[in-house]
Each structure stands twice: as structure tokens, then as C-alpha cells.
Amino acid sequence: MRHFEQSRLPEGVWGLHDHSAPHLFVTTLVYIASRLLGIERDDQMIEPARRFLQAEGVDSIPSWGKFWLALLNLYDWTGLHPILPELWSLPRRLPLHPSNWYCHTRLIYMAMAATYARRFQTPVTPTIASLRDELFPQGFENVDFPASRSRLREADLFARPTVWLRAGYRGAQLLERFHGKRLRARSVDALISQIKWELNTTDHTSISPVSGLLNILALWLHDPDDPDCQQALDQLDLWFWEDEERGARMTGARSASWDTGFALQALSTVPQLGGVPDALRRGSAFLRTQQIEDSFPGFREAYRNDPQGGWCFAGEWHGWPVTDCTAEAVVGLLAADPAAVPETALRDAVRFMLRGQNRDGGFGSYEAQRSVFDLERLNPAEMFGESMTEHSFVECTASCVAALAACKEHSPEVIDGAAERALSQADVWLRHNQERDGSWRGVWGVQFIYGTLFGIRGLVAGGAGPNDPALRSACQWLLDRQREDGGWGEHPSGCLTGRYVAHEESQVTQTAWALIALLEAGDSNWTAISRGARFLMDAQGEDGTWPRQDMAGVFFRTALLDYVLYRQYFPLHALALYDERRKTRES
């Protein structure tokens, strides 16, 4: 409850994040959770939310909300578009087959399909009966649920249902009416087997807490005594985070390997400082243990990329390695202690990264893109964008180029002809996808400053010199957006529109990104660089930390993420590069 209180918007409702507009989906779920935890309906904490829900109409909640409400018997299953388990039984060569979907999306819908087939609803208790009245003042029995399937609150949407998706829904409705019971049973059994495989390759955590909870529900409905279900329930605590200030909340991901890779890169620029050599040694030792050393039996049947050689965002236990997590781990290890990294580890890492390169030369995240068709037209998750397939990402591409280049420098024997071709193709992709104004649009951070940092890193790692036209254009784009106080700031609202939106105040993390980019590119505007460094030094607290500001990470264009350590190791890295350049200039 403390977290609900801390995260409430000024209007008394809730959004997707601290900077969000009021969100029907989030407010509905928080309201219901508060009531189930014992908060009375007239409590001042949730009373404004009830007014909001009744004014907006809960029947216009996005599809994922309809799903959760149906499970709680606060909505009827007839008010959902069918989530067909039979999709997974289609021939895999078909473009629509879920194996072609982005991994997060396909795993969420895999468990949702297995659960949808059961049509489970919790019994109507006095609290559920009261919630029905509170959410539907016109009377629960008077709600036309089938008519509400496509009723969606406009302000909650990022990806509005297309004509292709609406046609697919009509086809799914027809198939739902006439599906064969035997095929349905076989399809559900196959999904349950795949869910169990997924749990056993992720230390029973799943790829995310959303998938994890859905997997638990699917297994429990299939067999309440399933041992994998119980183990997954026990592991659910791994996703919880709690502190006195903001209370208990479920994190979207753990980030130990990701943070360690960047921390090693930052610390390796200041090895002379007290405590740093020991931190580098311990960080390197930890990160070396987090590489996935062996393939998972059955990964092809589970529609998975071969994980051997990769690093995960969280740790080896997570079982879902990512190209850029692998790349940043490799760069961090080679920066900290190259002699301690086995050649076999680097060779396996290179092979894993190459498996993530797309046909166009860019790199995907978990996997290479599998479909040449625009599956985004069929995106059923209305709140999120670019979530149906892998894409080529500037961050993943640049990180992999940096890692391959570092391997080429320290262990050239692990770079074969395929890796050389990958480097060349990635360089072409980076240049081709640079915006006309010199920037790149990032995907996993906010957004053009973040993307431009990686675009510059990738070009520099690929061999671009200080006078390269693409580098000069990128640096000029950054210089043009420096604020009067010397810092940089980009507002996260631009993620919704795909445009750069200037922030009203400079942001520490984004200033560090801009400085790292300018310094690694060898930009000659020392006055601008010095002003940026001065901003970071002035913003630092007496204890050496920098203050919490706006969230700098983003997921699927709409969900902002707070990477706590970003505001520590990126400013450190920027200032260390600045000091190195300053000393060079003075000498």
C-alpha cells in the first residue's frame, strides 16, 4: 500500500509511470488490488480513483485489463476477443505463427491462451460482489460484454487496432465458435509442456514477472499440484523490490549483468582511485560466472535462439541472453582485465551475437528477426508499440560492433570471416539508419540522446575517425541541444510521438550520455564539453552520488523504467573521459 500511495498521480489516480497521464488500465488494477487488500471503498486513497473509473467506464479498459478482470469474475469472458491456443498448432512456416513474434509477446500470449481455454473465474465473494457495483454502477448484469470487446479508452492506447487486427478478431471469433475439442485439448497440452520447459530453463522465474505470473496461473489451472507451479510460485519473490521510501513493488527485470558490464567500463577509466582495482577484480569475477556455457536441450522446439555464449540482462539463472547484454559484458570484461577472459568464452560470445544479426545488417535483442511481414499490424497489446517482432536496434547494433571490435583487438583469433562481414554490414546499417539531422532514435532509453550515444559508439568502434561526416553530424546534433546550464535534457513524452522533446531541466544521465558520445567521437568543441562536465560536477552530492531525476529507460515505447545505477556509472565514465582529455590537452 505504501507503493500505491507513493506512485499516485496528483489527480488521485494512477498511470503507467510517474510521468504518465491518468491510465484506466493501471488505475483499475490498483483500485481492485487495494480493495482486495482490505482498503474500504470510501477510503480517501482510492475514492478519487472510483470516480475516475465510473466516469471513464471500466468496460473500455484495454484487452489485458479485460483478461485480468475476467479471471476475477469482474468481467465476462464473452467480452474478450478469443485468445486461441490453436495458433501454436499452425504450421511453423506461416508468418502468423507465434514463433515469429517478439519473445516477450509470444510468451505472454502463450500463457494467456492456455488460461483462456479454461475460462476460470474466481467465486463471487462479498468483496467481489461489492467491486462489481463499484466498477459498474449501471449494474453488472446490465453490461453488454460482447459489445465491449472492441470498446477501448482512447487515452490508454498506443497501438490502435488496425483493420488487419479487426479482421483477425472476426476470424478468431468464428473459429472459437466451431473449434474442435480434441484439437483444443492437444493445443493446450502442448502449451503446458512448453510453459514447463520455459520454467525449467529460467530457474522457474520466466522471462518476466508478467509471464511468470501467467505461467503459474496456467499450470495451476491444469494441475494445482504441479511441482513446477509450486517452484515458480516460490521464485516469484525474485521479482519483488522493497525499500522504506517507495514500498514494495514488482520490478520488470533484474539487471545485475547489464549494470556490471557498464560499471566495469566506467571504473576501468579510473583504475588509480582507491578501491577501484578490487572492484574491477570482483566485478570481473562475477561477470565471468554469468555467461551461459551450454545450449538448452529442446531450444529449437521451444522457438528459442541457442543461448550458448550469451549473457542475460539479469544473470545466468535467467536463461534469456540478449545481444547487447552480451556485448556490454564482453566490453566490460576486456576493459577491466582482458587476460582473465578465456578465449573460449569470447568465441562463444561472438557466435551468440552473430546469431542475433538481422538480414539488414542490424542486430536484434534476444533473437534475429524471423518474419519479413509487418506483424505490428496485428499487435493486440494496444498499450504498447513495436512489440510484435524483433527489429534492428541502434543500441544492440552498436554494442555488438563495440564488442566485436574489442575482441578483434584483444583476441583476434576469435574473429573469423563471418564476424568481419557482420562488422561491415552493421556499419552500413548504422549509417543508413542515421536521421537526416544526425541523430539516431533509441528504443531502450529516452530516446534520441540515448540512441545517438550508441550510434556514435558504433561508428567509432567500427573505425570512423573524428572527421567522419556521420560522426560530425551526430556530434553537431548533440551540441545544438546543449542547455544554457551546460547539461542536456530530453523529455520522455517524445517516446510516444517519435520526436525529440526538450526537457525543462537538464538530466544528469542524459548529460553523461551526451558527454561520453562527444568525447569518444573526438569532438573539438572543448568549451561545450567543459560546460557539460561542470554541470555534472555541480550536480554531484557530497556523498559522491547524483540525484534521482526522471526515468531514463523505456520499454515498448510507453513503459518508463528507472535504472538506479545509470545516474552513477554513466556520469563517472563521462567525467573520467573528460579528465583524460583534459590532461592530454595540457600536456
The one catalytic residue among 226, 228, 324, 468: 324
Computed from CA positions of residues 148, 149, 150, 151, in that sequence, does the dihedral angle turn out positive or negative?
A: positive
C-alpha cell at 451: 540512441
Give the span between the Cα atoms of 563 and 544, in whole angstroms. 18
CA angle (117 as vertex; 181, 555 as ends), nearest 5? 140
**Whether the Cβ atoms of residue 118 and residue 215 lie closer than 8 Å to each other:** no
Specify the amino acid at residue 12: G
Nearest CA-CA partner of 62 in 28, 106, 109: 28
**Which amino acid, one-letter code, is at 510?**
Q
Q: What is the rounded distance in angstroms from the CA atom of residue 416 to the CA atom of residue 343? A: 13
Catalogue the long-range contacts made by 282-285 (C-beta closer than 8 Å, 24 or more residues apart). Answer: 283/332, 283/336, 284/332, 284/333, 284/336, 284/337, 284/340
Task: Return the H-helix or E-strand segment holding 322.
Answer: strand 321-322
**Among 330, 584, 561, residue whose Cα is nearest residue 444:** 561
CA dihedral 76→167→186→208, nearest 10 degrees, is -70
Continuous segment of H or E residues that includes residue 351: helix 343-354
**Pair 536, 574: CB distance under 8 Å:** yes
Can you tell me the distance from the alpha carbon of 173 to that of 141, in angstroms, rounded to the nearest whole number?
A: 23
Long-range contacts of 146-150 (CB under 8 A, 24+ apart): 146/78, 146/79, 148/59, 148/60, 148/66, 148/79, 149/66, 149/79, 149/80, 149/81, 150/81
Residues 6+ apart with CB under 8 A from 340: 284, 288, 333
Per DSSP, helices labelled H in 57-160 are 63-71, 103-116, 126-135
C-alpha cell at position 388 = 510484435
Distance of CA 114 to the CA centre of its chain: 24
Q: How far apart are CA 77 and CA 74, in angstroms?
A: 10
CA distance 393 to 367: 12
Grid cell digits, residue 9 = 498521480
User: Among this protein's residues, is 324 annotated catalytic?
Assistant: yes
**CA–CA distance, 461 with 403 (Å, rounded to integer):** 8
* Paired sense of beta strands 321-322 and 311-312, if any: antiparallel
CA distance 265 to 253: 22
Surface-to-core class of residue 179, CB atoms within 10 Å of its CB (0-12 exposed, 13-18 middle, 19+ buried): middle
**Residues recognised as catalytic:** 324
